Amino acid sequence: MSRLLEHKVALITGAASGIGRETSVLFGEEGAKLALADVDDKGCEETARLVCERGGEALAVHCDVSDPRAVETLISAAVERFGCLDCAFNNAGVGGASEPVADYDLEAWDHVLAVNLTGVFLSMQAELRQMVSQGAGAIVNAASVVGVIAYPYLAAYNAAKHGVIGLTRTAAIEYAGHGVRVNAVCPGWIETPMVMEGGRAPASIPEVYAAIAGLAPMKRLGMPIEVARAVAWLCSDAASFVTGHPLVVDGGVAAGRERAEE
């Protein structure tokens, strides 16, 4: 049986850890050749090593997605190495501060928007140009469950992820006639380093984990591989009639919130 991404060339940003690393390894196992990008060179190179260790092929590239020239260099490196670009997962992101809107630091706001929203925009611009020239392609943008609902004290993150969904839908409409599909994946609380180790209340603390798990009807946090599988499907030919869709992978958090508000 053929693999899901056999003969595909894929680009993954934010590949050094968490969902990005898990998706990279899965893509490699499913037959894709990979261009991997991150500002964390050591982590990105380790991800590339894991891909190759499992029989895949991967190129690690340093890239700050908020820098237009760095993004253009990344796309050029991928195409130069592999000859084309079939799919992309724009996953690079940061968490940001946890403060009320009135107290949110402007510099912190700018940083979150630069990486989480402008970084997706810049990546999509370069990817779309390449894919349009080929006549086909698939892009998946990393949004979040807070792109469809909101949590308090996450003003910049909420705004950026809502923006990613709007940007995804706009591009999907504009480029459907060019053979390019554009979707978003919206993870809920996932066991990534950002969630388990970051912030004021890391989920590695049992009491915090229990509180977060309690938000989901499935009563647990998700695993990175569960998001990776959704991304792989969206990038594959199996999702050939799916575009402009924010696929929520959250254990029922958004559905539970909607029901509570009825």
Q: Is 73 exposed, middle or buried (CB count within 10 Å of its CB: 0-12, 13-18, 19+)?
A: middle
Residue 92: count other Cβ atoms within 10 Å of its Cβ.
Answer: 24
The closest alpha carbon to 4, from 31, 34, 24, belongs to 31
Active-site residue flag, 157: yes
Cα(95)–Cα(8) distance, integer angstroms: 30
What is the residue whose two structure tokens read 């559905």?
Answer: 255
Q: Residue 19 in contact with residue 228, Cβ under 8 Å?
A: yes
151, 153, 157, 209: the active-site residue:
157
The closest alpha carbon to 12, from 167, 227, 250, 223, belongs to 227
The closest alpha carbon to 12, from 46, 52, 42, 48, belongs to 48
| Residues that are catalytic | 157
